[in-house]
């Protein structure tokens, strides 16, 4: 099989042999070892209390993913709970093993039939040639892309999201589509579908001096005292919305691509004391625009919280989605839920949240 072909063409050439996910995983690890020889970069992180080691085959791909999670670096991490091997062909000259599955094995949302079972989790994204594979027995994962420059900007903003979801599927932890802001003692989850004002709310709070644990994806702990762990220190804004945050405009990392991308800001670099690893949760707030002058909180219930968090989260994730829905349901019922009715005055939003947190339990 011609290894220089795009993987979707390799699929059409595949022989249809019996699935052997363990053998394929081992072959990719050997390819990673060759790709990283003499240029291995290893970063250690503490993510949701778990020790995670990310092994990059050279600086090109490390520079793509590291900025989003650098606030979670922890050099004291020893025995890892998860090890991820990350490489691309272009910058390393690697030769990725050909895909061993037949065309009909390529299923919806990138799932590969025969390579997804109780032990192995596998997705492949046609068009951008990204393969993610997780071995639950070894707590080891692979992230491969043919060309690191093909990685979409949104993937740079929340790297390894699927792999972390797979690893934590049996833990009381769940990656969710939400933001979180707070103070030194506790905070609130900011949830809502895309376009609901979630990013505007979290960034307004960041600009006002509140602490920030996430804008787009966070890790929720659903134990007796709900807690939110930060996952990524990135913010994404619709370009037109940048006008509401003039202090953030100079910090946008992709200013030349805003005609086709959201504005991407790596917040740890610019707000090192405001980006935190997490805090206990006091409530779930659901932003909605009212057109009124002042912002206010209006009590609602778990059903609205679930509807705000679950659809997009479950759309983004593959495998273990029933378990993810169960965790989101538990979280939605564990905390008071409020509509955050956002008024026309942006500073009103952090003012209302700060006052709510100051009232205590």
* 238-297 per-position pLDDT tens digit: 888 888 888 888 999 999 999 899 999 999 989 999 999 999 999 999 999 877 778 899
Confidence of residue 207 (pLDDT cuts 50, 70, 90): confident
Query: Is a pLDDT exceeding 90 seen at residue 329?
Result: yes
Query: Is a pLDDT exceeding 90 seen at residue 87?
Result: yes
Query: Is a pLDDT exceeding 80 seen at residue 227?
Result: yes
Query: Is a pLDDT exceeding 90 seen at residue 102?
Result: no
Which bin fits 84, alpha (ψ -120 to 50), beta or left (φ > 0)? beta
| SS3 at position 273 | coil
| SS3 at position 12 | helix
d(CA 176, CA 170): 15
pLDDT value for 361: 53
Q: Which residue has the tokens 């059903």?
A: 303
Domain boundaries along the sequence of the chain:
7-167, 173-358
Architecture label for domain 7-167: 3-Layer(aba) Sandwich (3.40)
pLDDT tens for 175-199 read 999 999 999 899 999 999 877 788 8
Query: Is a pLDDT exceeding 60 seen at residue 30?
Result: yes
The domain defined by 173-358 folds into Rossmann fold (3.40.50)
DSSP string, 309-356: HHHHHHHH--S-HHHHHHHHHHHHHHS-EEEEEE-S-TTHHHHHHHHH
pLDDT value for 12: 40
Closest CA to 103 of 3, 17, 14: 14
Q: If you ran DSSP here, which 8-state letter would residue 215 be given? A: S
| Integer CA distances (angstroms), 111 to 6, 132, 324, in order | 17, 10, 17
Counting residues of the chain whose pLDDT is more than 90, the rounded percentage is 70
End-to-end Cα spacing for the chain: 63
69 CB-near residues (< 8 Å, 6+ apart): 45, 47, 159, 231, 232, 233
Query: Is a pLDDT exceeding 90 seen at residue 89?
Result: yes
d(CA 263, CA 242): 8
321 forms beta bridges with none
pTM: 0.91
176 CB-near residues (< 8 Å, 6+ apart): 191, 217, 218, 219, 220, 309, 313, 328, 331
pLDDT value for 360: 65
| SS3 at position 260 | coil
Query: Is a pLDDT exceeding 80 seen at residue 34?
Result: yes
pLDDT value for 9: 43
């Amino acid at each position: 099989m011609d290894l220089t072909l795009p993987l979707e063409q390799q699929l059409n050439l595949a022989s249809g042999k019996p699935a052997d996910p363990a053998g394929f995983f081992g072959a990719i690890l050997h390819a990673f070892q060759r790709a990283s020889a003499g240029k291995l970069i290893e970063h250690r992180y503490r993510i949701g209390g778990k020790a995670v080691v990310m092994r990059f085959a050279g600086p090109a791909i490390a520079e793509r993913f590291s900025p989003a999670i650098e606030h979670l670096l922890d050099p004291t991490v020893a025995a890892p709970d998860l090890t991820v091997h990350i490489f691309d062909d272009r910058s390393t000259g690697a030769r990725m093993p050909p895909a061993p599955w037949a065309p009909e094995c390529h299923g919806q949302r990138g799932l590969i039939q025969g390579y997804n079972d109780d032990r192995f989790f596998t997705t492949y994204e046609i068009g951008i040639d990204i393969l993610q594979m997780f071995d639950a027995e070894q707590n080891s994962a692979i992230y491969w892309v043919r060309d690191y420059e093909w990685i979409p900007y949104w993937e740079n903003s929340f790297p390894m999201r699927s792999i972390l979801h797979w690893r934590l599927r049996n833990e009381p932890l769940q990656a969710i589509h939400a933001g979180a802001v707070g103070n030194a003692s506790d905070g609130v989850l900011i949830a809502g579908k895309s376009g609901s004002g979630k990013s505007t709310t979290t960034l307004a709070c960041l600009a006002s001096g509140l602490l920030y644990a996430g804008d787009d994806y966070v890790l929720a702990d659903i134990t007796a005292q709900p807690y939110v762990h930060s996952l990524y220190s990135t913010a994404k804004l619709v370009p037109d919305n940048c006008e509401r945050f003039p202090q953030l405009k100079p910090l946008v990392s992709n200013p030349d691509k805003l005609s086709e991308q959201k504005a991407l800001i790596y917040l740890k670099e610019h707000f090192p004391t405001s980006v935190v690893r997490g805090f206990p949760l006091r409530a779930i707030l659901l932003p909605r625009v009212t057109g009124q002058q002042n912002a206010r909180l209006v009590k609602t219930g778990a059903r609205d919280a679930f509807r705000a968090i679950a659809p997009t989260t479950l759309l983004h994730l593959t495998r273990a989605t029933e378990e993810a829905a169960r965790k989101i349901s538990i979280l939605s019922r564990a905390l008071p839920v409020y509509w955050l009715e956002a008024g026309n005055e942006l500073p009103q939003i952090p003012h209302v949240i700060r006052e709510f947190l100051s009232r205590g339990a």
